Structures are given as C-alpha cells and as structure tokens.
Amino acid sequence: MFSMLKKLFGNTTDYKGLVSNGAIILDVRSEGEFGSGHIKGATNIPLEQVKQNIPALKKKNKPVITVCRSGVRSGIAKSVLAAAGIEVYNGGAWNALQQKIQ
C-alpha cells in the first residue's frame, strides 16, 4: 500500500534534512564526470568500485545518498548498499539533488 502511495505522490524523502544530519552524498559517476561538476562535499566512488568500499562506508555509520547523472547508476548503487545493510537513499541526478538540498 505504501509503495503504491509513494508512486502516486512521488518521493517525499527529506534530503536536505538527511544532509544536515550528516548523510554522505555518494556520487557514483566516473572520476572524469565527477571532475566536471559535483555537489560540494560529495564523495566520489564510481559504481564499479562501490562493492569494495562497503566496509569503509559501514564504518562511517551514516546514511548514504547516492547520485549520478540520471539516477540509473545511483539506483543500482542503492540496491548494492541496501543489500549490505546500509541506510541508503537514491538521490537521482546530482544536479537535481543539489537543488533540493540548498
């Protein structure tokens, strides 16, 4: 029921609140894409390297917001991190999330 309502009314995640409470913004684009523009303070771990960085992310014990160019890679990263027991949110496109957290 909740997932159906979420689909109808969109994502109601308080990204600004998550960030102000210390959430990690994880940009899963390539190093080159990240270098061409990113959210200030974001951590860049390309999607291909997310799995091997799970232990380090778990040690931080903070929620993670994944971002990329369009939301596809960040959605994949979210699934990988959630399966590892990390509290994670798909922030979608990095520039859209940037607008939401300002």
The CATH number of 13-101, from 3.40.50.11720, 3.40.250.10, 3.30.1600.10, 3.30.565.10, is 3.40.250.10
pTM, to two decimals: 0.89
Enumerate the domain spans of the chain: 13-101
CA proximity to 97, closest of 1, 4, 28, 8: 28
pLDDT digits (tens, 9 = 90+) for 80-96: 999 999 999 999 999 99
Mean pLDDT of all residues belonging to the chain? 92
Residue bearing the bigger pLDDT, 11 or 73: 73
The beta strands (E) that lie in the chain are given as 24-27, 43-44, 64-68, 88-93
Amino acid letter, residue 54: I
Residue 62 has pLDDT above 90, yes or no: yes
What pLDDT was estimated at residue 10? 60
